[in-house]
Amino acid sequence: MHEKRAFNALRIIGLIFFTLITLFPLYTIVTSSIKPLADVRSTFRWTPSRITLAPYTDIWSTIPLARYFLNSLIISLGATVISVFIAILAAYAISRYRFFGRGAFSLTVLSTQMFPGILFLLPLFVIYVNLERVVGIQLYGSYAGLIITYLTFALPFSIWMLVGYFNSIPKEMEEAAMVDGTTALGALFRVLVPVSMPGIVAVGIFAFMTAWGEVLFASVLTDDATRTLAVGLRNYATQSNVYWNQLMAAAIVVSIPVVAGFLALQRYLVQGIAAGGVKG
């Protein structure tokens, strides 16, 4: 009893602490986005001197936010869908089959997590440019280039998580289906995938977030027309004459889809990681 009360008190203090440190910056972003420009140019105020929604409308003309948004959306969705698909295939193979090179493949894929981006940034750029000449697909300054790049970035973690997830699902389920005449791939998509939805959703979320927030490669591989939100906003924030209230408004606009999606699906995320990441 004694201990329970002490723990409860501790819990309340702990929760308050975490809530405060989480909320403080969020509060700053939200209130700054509804302040007039003079407020964000002088000493910080906890409340706006007057509430204005102008930043939310102005930001669309200050920077081409709509274009950046569309670009990021197309690129992130493209990378996510393809990456998840490829990861499912690869994870299925690793989880369900023993084949020569399996260990090497997994190790290679996992080790790419360590590669510093700068090491292969410029070579990648040069390769894309040359591929464009040889094969004719535009990779620099196009959606394709970044989609290919981002889907690859998400692959290692996705494959690793899905392997863990698939491993925790007994093979008997697919084998039963295959005895009935389904192909291996059919079993994969009709039996394993539906059961693995939490893991797949988790992997999809992760892939999307990786693509949505990446700055380094986007800064080199995009041009004016394909610029993503990450680069666009980052450039604006370091330009002269930043309208911070508008920038904060943009930050909110940009974050809402990702945060909303993330939070709506967090249940799957926790489940997915629990089964896949933890046991893997």
Partner 1 sequence: MYNRGASAGRSLSRRDFLRLGGIGIAGVTLFGGVACGGRSQEGGNTVTYWASNQGATIDQDKQVLGKAVEEFKKQSGISVNFKVIPWSDLYNNILTATTSGEGPDVLNIGNTWSASLQATGAFLPFDGDKLGMIGGQEKFVGTSFAASGAPGKTPTSVPLYGLSYGLFYNKKMLQDAGISGPPETWDDFVTAAKELTSPPNRWGMALEGASITENSHWAFFLGKQHGGSLFAEGGKPTFDSPEMVSAVTQYVNFLGLDKIASPACAEYSDGVSGPTDFANGKAAMIVYQNNAERVLKTSGMSEDEYGVAKVPLVNPLPPGGEPIMSHVAGINISIFNNAANQDGALEFVKFLTSGGQQIKLNESFGSLPVTKEARETPQFSGGKLAVFNEILANNAEPMPLIVKEAQMETLIGDAVKQLFAKAATGGSVSESEVKAQLSEANQKMASGG
Partner 2 sequence: MEETKDRRPEVEVRRGGRRSGERVSSKRRVRPQTLPYLLVLPALLFELLVHLFPMLVGVGVSFLELTQFYVRNWSAAPFVGLRNYLDGLDPSGPIGSALAQSFLITVAYTVLVVGGSWVLGICAALLVNSEFRARRWFRTLFLIPYALPVYVAVIAWSFMLQRNTGAINTLLVDNLHLLHERPFWLIGNNAFWSVVMTSLWRSWPFAFLMVLAGLQTIPTELYEAASIDGASRWRQFRTITLPLLRPVNLVLLLVLFLWTFNEFNAPYVLFGQAPPGAADLLSLHIYVNSFVDWNFGLGASMSVLLLLFLLVVSVIYIRVLRVGGEENA
Give 52 or 62: the residue with its C-beta nearer to partner 1.
62
Give 16 or 126: the residue with its C-beta nearer to partner 1.
126
6 token code pair: 């002490």
Partner whose footprint covers residue 194, from partner 2, partner 1, none (CB < 5 to 8 Å by kind): none
Partner whose footprint covers residue 130, from partner 2, partner 1, none (CB < 5 to 8 Å by kind): partner 1
Interactions with partner 2, residue window 140-179 (CB under 8 A): 148-149, 151-153, 155, 157, 159, 163, 167, 171, 175, 178-179
- Positive or negative, the CA dihedral 46, 51, 56, 59 is negative
74 binds partner 2 (CB under 8 A): no
135 binds partner 1 (CB under 8 A): yes
Among 119, 133, 180, 194, binds partner 1 (CB under 8 A): 133
**What does the alpha-carbon distance between residue 66 and residue 60 come to, in Å, rounded to a whole number?**
7
* Segment contacting partner 2 by CB under 8 A, of 52-60, 63-71, 123-131, 189-197: 123-131
195 binds partner 1 (CB under 8 A): no
Position of tokens 């494959």?
A: 159
**What does the alpha-carbon distance between residue 138 and residue 221 come to, in Å, rounded to a whole number?**
11
Cα angle 192, 198, 201; round to 5: 100
When computed from its CA atoms, the radius of gyration of the chain, rounded to whole angstroms, is: 23
43 binds partner 1 (CB under 8 A): no
127 binds partner 1 (CB under 8 A): yes
Could you tell me if 215 and 231 are in contact, meaning their C-beta atoms sit under 8 angstroms apart?
yes
Q: How far from each other are the two terminal CA atoms of the chain, in whole angstroms?
A: 38
Among 13, 130, 215, 266, binds partner 1 (CB under 8 A): 130
Angle between helix 102-111 and 143-167 (nearest 10): 120
- Positive or negative, the CA dihedral 233, 234, 240, 246 is positive
Residues found near partner 1 in the complex (CB under 8 A): 122, 125-127, 129-131, 133-135, 140, 183-185, 219-220, 223-224, 235, 238-242
